[in-house]
Each structure stands twice: as C-alpha cells, then as structure tokens.
Structure 1
Amino acid sequence: MAPTTLSDGSTILSQGLKLVLGHPWLVLIAFVFSRLVWNKFQPHVWKIPGPTAVAYTKFWRVYDVWKGQAHLTAIDLHKKYGPLVRVAPNHVSVSDPSYIPVFYNIKENYTKTGFYPIQSISWKKQPEMNLFSTRDPSYHRVEKRKVGAAYSLPNLLESESAIDSCITLFMDRLNEFASQQKPVDLGAWLQYFAFDVVGEVTFASKLGFLERGTDVDGMMKAIEGMLTYASLCGQVPEYHKYLLGNPLFSMLMPAMETWNQVLVFTLKAINGRASIKRDGELINADSGGRDMLSRWAYVKSSDPLKMSTRDIIVHLSTNVFAGSDTTAIALRAVIYYLCRNPRIMTKVVEEIDAADKEGQLSTPVSYKESTTSLPYFNAVLKEAMRIHPSVGFLMERHVPPEGVGINGQFIPGGTIVGINPWVTNRNEAVFPDPDDFKPERWLEASEAQMKQMDDIFELNFGGGSRKCIGRNISMIEMQKVLPELLRRYTVTLTHPNKDWHICNHWFVQQEGVICNLTRR
C-alpha cells in the first residue's frame, strides 16, 4: 500500500470539512455528546451514586420539580443511595446533619448558588437583590445591618397589639362559618391571616385579606406563579438570562413597579402612608410608629446615607413576597396533623383549657403566655414543622475552592452541595419513627438528644448568617393564633378520609384543609 502523501491528507481534510459544512447537525451531535460525557465524568463527583440520568443533565431535576413532589424524591433517593446522592452533574445532596453547620455557617464561605437571584425584583428597570436572593456575603452583611433590628423579637413584640387585632378579626370571620355550620377552607383563611399580620408589622395596616375573605389583587396566585417559575428555572439558572432575566425583557416591558403584583401591592401600601416622587424619593412618611415602614423612614429622614428609598422598597416587598406562605404552611400543618390525631388534639386542647382556667391566658393569648404556659402545644408546633417543613428543596451552596471531605468522599471546590430539611427532619437516628406525628419526642428527649433535634429543626429557617430574618414574625403569629383558635373552636376535618394535596415548588404548599368549626 502506498504511503499517504501531504496531498492525500489535504484531500481527506477537505472532504471532512465538506462533510461537516454539508451536515452541521453532526457538529451539534458531537458537541452534545462531548458535553454529556463531560457531565458524567466530573472529577471526584462521578463516583457518587444517584439515578443514571442525573449524571448527564440537569433536566432530570427540572422534570422532578415540575411534578411537584421533589421533597419525596429526595427522601427516597437517600434511602436508596445513602448519605451522598448525586442529583445533577455538579450537584450533591447530603443527608448527614452534622454538615448543617459546615454548609450554613456565619463565615459564608459556602456561598449561595444561581438558584437564588432569580427570586428578586427590579426597581427602575435594574435588578435589585434582597437579603434572601443575594449571593454576595458583603452585600448581605451591609443590608442586614440596615434592617436587622426591626426583625428582633423585642421590637416585633411592640406590634403585638396590632397582631391581636388581626386575631380578633380572624376569629370573628371564622365565627360566621361556625354560626352557619358551613365548612371553611381553613388553609386559605390561615394564609389570609398571615398576610394581614405582615401588613400590620410592615405597614401598620391590614392588607384586606381577612376583611374581604379573598385573595386581594390576586397576590396569592401571583406569588404562586413566581415561585413556580423560580423553582423550575432555578434548576437551570443559566437559562434565566434567556427568559425573564433577558435584558431585552426589561427594555421592551414597562418597569416592574407598574405590573409585578408584589411590587405594585407594596407601593400601594407605602403610598397609603407616604408619597413617592417621580424620582423615587420617599416623603411624608410617619416616623413615629413601630412598623417597619415607620422605622426605616425615620432612619432615612435622619441619615439618607444609611437608608435609601430603594432599600425600603426592596425590604418591604420581600416581606410581602415571603411573609405569608411559610407561616401559612406551618399553621396548616399543625391543624391538619392535630385533626388526624384525635388523641393529640384532645391533649393539647386540655392543656389550653387548664391554663385558661388558671388565669394564665389573656384574650387573645399573648406570645409570652404561649411560650411559657403551654409546653405540650409547643411540642405539637415543633413536631408539625418537623414533619412538614415549609422548604422542600436542596438549600444549595458552592463548595469553597479548597474542597471538602464528606463521609470519606472528597468534593472539589465549585461543586454544589446542600441539605433538604425534608431529609434531615426524617433522620431515623435522631427522630425514631420519623414519619409518625409524635409531639412527645420534644418533651421526653435527653438533653443531648434535644440539642441534636433542635440543631436539625433550625434548618427549617435556614442556617448561619443566612437564617430567615423573618422567623420571629412567623413564630409570634403561630404561638398566638393557634391556642386562641383551639380555645374558641372545636376543629375537625370536613372530609376526614381525604388526604390533603401537596405541591412543592420551593415552598411545600398544601390544599384541602377544609374544616368544620363548632364554638366551644
């Protein structure tokens, strides 16, 4: 056979180029194939077990999230594969609770991922990160210093009488259903209550949900849509810049403050108390109140360098967006699991009645009374939040450059790791019979066991410096409204043999908490 000449080589190359140019789909196939292979064999991560498809593409996660049951998938995957599960080409889910303080610490060396910035607003056509969505630890520290004091427990309790007014109105509205012996969608009304509390704490004004008994301005539906988009796109955040994060979108669309329901609603609430000039300047705000708008308006009027109109709008709109869903989810969980467990319901009602008979409870029940005089109720509250946490996804973080060893496996820097509260809250070593609703576990545990349980439970609110800043608002609401509800009404499920419907789009929302109320 004659040796190949330079001319022959040029001919082969020319023919190859003609083949490629004539069939560009071959280039696409080659690119996709090489990308899939690269995804599969990511250094160090490729040995971690998981479903076959997850090693090749993130779209396995997109489909899982789309189905709305990703929290159950996470539990099943860890039961099957162990403490480390590969859930995407560069994502590892961890079930070992000892890594909670590692991933979610005060140093913030494990930074948030591209999942989070999707959940932000724009102001004057510029993206504006909030305390939840920002990935920048320095920015987070600066912004938290501006507003953190308003979320402290002592400052929030200065608004307790305003929260009491919401409880009184809530009970009056429920009494209408009890008097007529009509079933009530208690799950929806609990969210109406949570929204109005957010209004009182944030703007010193109820937002109209309890008064109207409906989804005011379609806010609940709008937030549901935003969360659905964020949860799906958040699995492939690099696509956000081609979708709602596309710069052309902001150029072609009117400013978000004219159409985004959360922002419009926030501005409307602000304008009920203040005025916003065309240039965005906030004027005529009442600086004497205890609500957040008043506090921050006072700071701004005292020193505009410490607080801007932009800061006030971003943080107030975050309250509106995130302030009701998580609280309503926990409230529904308590009611549902109590109704499903009559023995426990009887026991908690007896405790409330005994405290009431001894004169330990005000009307409505105060936060201090609830936390000190009702130990069994507090155990019920924690157990409901353990068995049904509000957040149902991996709380994603980037591994720092030096990498980390987890259960004998080295995870390189840049890998995305995280823990799902639905997984750790069902750790059998810490919570025996984890799927059973057992409030007694919070009263009978040893000191060492209780510390373990509490450390895991706290992940319900996030961890480290990124722990939910609004958690005290939520706890005050729950500690007050639930004992008052159970003191006034006998609550039963209208359809006791029918399970509620759960859909997880970041927040694990429930539907179907339809109840009968009887005045006690």
Structure 2
Amino acid sequence: MVSSSDKLTSNLLLSPIPATVPGPVIARLTKKWILFVDLSGSRARTIHDLHQKYGPVVRMAPNELSFASLQSVKAIYGPGTTCIKSSAYDNFGRQGMFQMQDPAQHRERQKLIAHIFAPSSLQQMEPLIQGVLHKLVSAIEKRLGKPVDALHWCRMTALDVSGEILLGKSFGAFAADGDAPAYVHHLDNAYLVWSLFGLAPLMCKALERLPVKSLQQFMAAGDYVYKYGDDALKEYLKLYGRSSTRRSLLTKILAGDPSTGTESLTDREISVEVSNLVFAATDTTGNTMAYALYRLCCHQEWQEELRAELRASGAKAAGFSFQSLQSLPILNGIVMETLRLHPAAPSALPRITTGKGCDIGGMWVPGKTLVSMQAFTTQRNPEYFPDPDTFNPNRWVSGNEISSGSPNMREMMLVWGKGTRACLGQHMATMEIKMLLGRIVERFRIKLAGLKTHDEMEMTDHFTLIPKGQRCSLVFSNASAG
C-alpha cells in the first residue's frame, strides 16, 4: 500500500504541471483541501479570491488548474475545443445528455432534443407559463403587506412551469398554499446526495448499506426524482398516446423532429432527459427569479424605472406576452445584471484535456489535466465589467434599445456555458424570468422585509447557486396604492 506521505510526495514530484504555476502550497500536494471548501458552500468565492491573489491561472490540485482570462474561454469551452467534460458530472443523476463525456455521443443526443427549445416551440408554450404566473399573482395577493418568502414562490413557479412544459402535467406547487410538493423535498435531498457522492463516494456507498430506513430513504432521493419522471411519462402515454396536439415539450420529444426526419428517443431515454431538464430548470430559474426581485428591492430606483417602462410599453394590455416584453431595454438589462452577479452555476465547469494536451491562454497544459473556469470570476472581471460588484443594468442598454454588450463582455458571460455544451434551456429560462418580472413589478411594489433578507440572500454554492438562508423575505403591496 502507498502511504499518505508517499502519495503527497508523488503528487509534488510527479505532477506534469510546472511548479511555477501559482496557487496555494497545499494544492501542489493534494486535491482534498478543496473538498472541504465545497462542503462549506464557498468554492466560487474561494476560487475568485485565489484569482485575485495569483492571477489568471491558479493551481487547484496536483493535476487541476483554474483559468480566468478571456483567451482561455474558447480553448476550454469553444467550438473545436479538444477538452471534454470531466467525469465529475457522472455524480449528477442518471446518464443523459448533460452527463455525456463523448462529444460524438453528446452531439447525436443533442440533435434529438434541441428542436424542442426552438423559438417556435417555446412560443406555443407561452399559455402554460401564463397560467402558472396567474397562480403566483394570486398567492402574492393573499399575502399583501406581510413578509413573503419570495424564493419559495419563485421555485414553485419554475417547478410548475417545468412540469407543465416538460412533463405535460403540473406538480401542484400552488395547491398546498405554501407547502412545497414532496418532489421538492426529494430534489433538495438528491442534490445533497449527489454532491456527497462527488466528494466522498466510498463513504456514500457505505451509508447506502446501513439498515437505517430514514438514511436509506435519504440516500435514495435521486431515485424518487427519476421515478416521478417515469410515472409522468407512463401517465402521459396512457392518456394521450404518442401522437397528441397538446402543448408541451414532451409531446415534441415523443414525436421527434419531422423537419429533419429525426426519430424519437426510447421511453427510458425520454424519461431520463426530461427528468434531468426538470430538476436542472427548477432551482436555476427559480433562484435567478428570486435574486432579480431581491436586487430590485435593494435598488428601488431600478424597480421604479422598470415599472415605468412596463406601463409605457403597453405590456399589460398585451397580457404581458413575451413578445411585448422581450425587447424592453431596462427589463433586459435587469435580467442580464442578475445573471451576471448571480449566475445559477457560479463555480467551476470542469473539463479534461485530451491527447498530449493543448494551449490554454498562452500556457501549454498537459493531457489528462482537469481545467475549468467559473462564471463568478469571469463575470466580475473589471477590465470588461467596470465596477464589477455594482448592479448596473445600463451595461446592457444602448440609448433606448437593448445592448448585448461588447464581444468581450459576451465572451466572459459563462452563465449559460459555452459552445456545444451551452444550456439548451436558456431561452426558456429567459422567457420565464422576463414574464415573471413584467407581471409582478407592474402590479406590485416590493421591498425588503428587513435587513435579515441580506443575510438570507448571501450567495453559497454547491455547484448550483443557493441563497445561504434558503429564503428571500420580501413584502409586496399594490403598485397603484403609491
């Protein structure tokens, strides 16, 4: 057996990464130090601070590097990259497109799914989103003048939208008048279990074998999440068959893509893919909605400007349709700044270099090296985002029109990922967020429930962004009341 000291010595002497690459001394010896940072929920902030100290390249482990320069983005994530997804994604649920490492396998699966997120498909889904938003407005109206957990209601909105669009049925997120469906509790536990498997797989396998019912149920949380997808697909097929005129993306997945002659996936593959899409969309979109509302409470001037823009645009008369909202510059700027400061996946998007290695940002990186960048850092680079910690929607406004920012700004926005691995659901998420903000801000004035809300919304991350207090206490009142 190799002793711990021998392993540390081996890491120090045999690492293919040059010793001149800066980083914490412990990172030259072991990767285990970062595991404790992961458990604390402070990985994104820790890596960001290391880049502030050491520069655009930081050693994270004997065989792992973190990059932060503009020149590194295309090399790691862009079209033609030779880097592939790391096996770290295997810990997140069942094998689907999100977890696939083989670029060819991913490309073929993407062809079978991408068509469901086409603008024409999403436009057909708009009535489903509007229906869920009506429920949200009703829930808020029952609680006017009282502290409301906006994070909970944003999550419920994203959950029911995902259910309606991807599974063809509601999760009943608004039926219990404040209580989350059982699915949400299983999903929360599943994220914890998957994170633990990534950090300590042997320990988790041992825990699974312990004859403690409550522990076994906790460790099986992911199975419950996928069972919901399995059952929803079976129920859908029983009620509507494989050919239906229903407005849901599940209908389109079952039908394939007639325009290209693409056939559908197997039922097993469909169940896994839609389940992955639902749990990926629920917290990422829900958390972003909550952070947008929080920012508008912290910056009342932007809330007032947005309300004025909405009323001048006639969005209400248009039923807050996405068409009436998508080109509003202030609304778009607020969404973009929220995504910049509070990216749903703020920390590392890990990749593995292949073959003999590749050039990344002017540095030759050997093959089989774990490399990554993180949105939390690239989107706070002061060279491209002056006063990077300031919430400034005007970054994304040009005159009276939407601005997509400079090419370098766009390149450094990693919130949706990049290249062929970019988030397929980004347009659906943006559509939801804009429609929610348009309807809510036009109708309600929103303020913080107190200073405690700042503590609640402190950012932590366990791959995805999680508010520290797991709630967002806000107070809503009728906007017409002054």
CA contact (8 A) 1:300 1:308 kept: no
Question: One-letter code of the match for 1:354?
Answer: A
2:472 equivalent to 1:513: yes
2:113 equivalent to 1:147: yes
Alignment partners' CA distance in 2, 1:233 and 1:184: 34
Unaligned ranges ≥5, structure 2: 211-215
2:331 equivalent to 1:365: no
* Other-structure match for 1:126: none
Q: 1:433 aligns to what SS in structure 2? A: coil
In the alignment, which of 230, 243, 247 is matched to residue 194 of structure 2?
A: 230
Alignment partners' CA distance in 1, 2:421 and 2:87: 15
2:22 equivalent to 1:49: yes
- Deviation of 1:117 (Å): 1.0
Instruction: Report which stretch shifted further, 214-223 or 201-210.
Output: 214-223
* Other-structure match for 1:207: 171
* Other-structure match for 2:5: 33
* Other-structure match for 1:502: 459
In the alignment, which of 22, 40, 51 is matched to residue 78 of structure 1?
A: 51
2:126 equivalent to 1:160: yes
2:446 equivalent to 1:485: no
Alignment partners' CA distance in 2, 1:308 and 1:351: 47
In the alignment, which of 243, 262, 280 is matched to residue 225 of structure 2?
A: 262
Distance 1:98 1:367, change over 3 A: farther
In the alignment, which of 286, 289, 294 is matched to residue 336 of structure 1?
A: 294
Question: One-letter code of the match for 2:30?
Answer: T
Unaligned ranges ≥5, structure 1: 1-26, 122-128, 276-281
2:275 equivalent to 1:317: yes
Alignment partners' CA distance in 1, 2:296 and 2:263: 50
Distance 1:229 1:77, change over 3 A: farther
Distance 1:483 1:120, change over 3 A: same
* Other-structure match for 1:92: 65
* Other-structure match for 1:451: 407
- Deviation of 1:447 (Å): 8.2
- Deviation of 1:107 (Å): 3.4
- Deviation of 1:244 (Å): 4.6
Runs of 4+ residues deviating >6 angstroms: 245-249, 256-259, 445-448
In the alignment, which of 233, 240, 256 is matched to residue 201 of structure 2?
A: 240
What pairs with 1:268-287 in structure 2 (closer than 5 Å)?
268-275=231-238, 284-285=241-242, 287=244
Taking only aligned residues, the RMSD between alpha carbons, in angstroms, comes to 2.9
CA contact (8 A) 1:192 1:209 kept: yes
Alignment partners' CA distance in 2, 1:258 and 1:383: 34
2:161 equivalent to 1:197: yes
- Deviation of 1:185 (Å): 0.4
2:151 equivalent to 1:187: yes
Instruction: Report which stretch shifted further, 68-77 or 285-294.
Output: 285-294
2:290 equivalent to 1:327: no
- Deviation of 1:171 (Å): 0.8
Distance 1:72 1:295, change over 3 A: same
Distance 1:270 1:80, change over 3 A: same
* Other-structure match for 1:106: 79
Q: 1:86 aligns to what SS in structure 2? A: strand
* Other-structure match for 1:13: none
Distance 1:45 1:448, change over 3 A: farther
Distance 1:244 1:105, change over 3 A: farther
CA contact (8 A) 1:353 1:487 kept: yes
Q: 1:460 aligns to what SS in structure 2? A: coil
CA contact (8 A) 2:17 2:63 kept: no
What do the CA deviations read for 1:103-162 (whole angstroms, capped 9, x no partner)?
Answer: 1123352101111111122xxxxxxx1111111112111211112101112211111111
Q: Percent identity?
A: 24
2:348 equivalent to 1:390: no
> Aligned pairs, how many?
464
Based on CA coordinates, which of the two structures has the bigger radius of gyration? 1
Alignment partners' CA distance in 1, 2:6 and 2:184: 44
CA contact (8 A) 1:54 1:89 kept: yes
Alignment partners' CA distance in 1, 2:385 and 2:71: 15
* Other-structure match for 1:461: 416
In the alignment, which of 248, 251, 254 is matched to residue 291 of structure 1?
A: 248
Distance 1:486 1:283, change over 3 A: closer
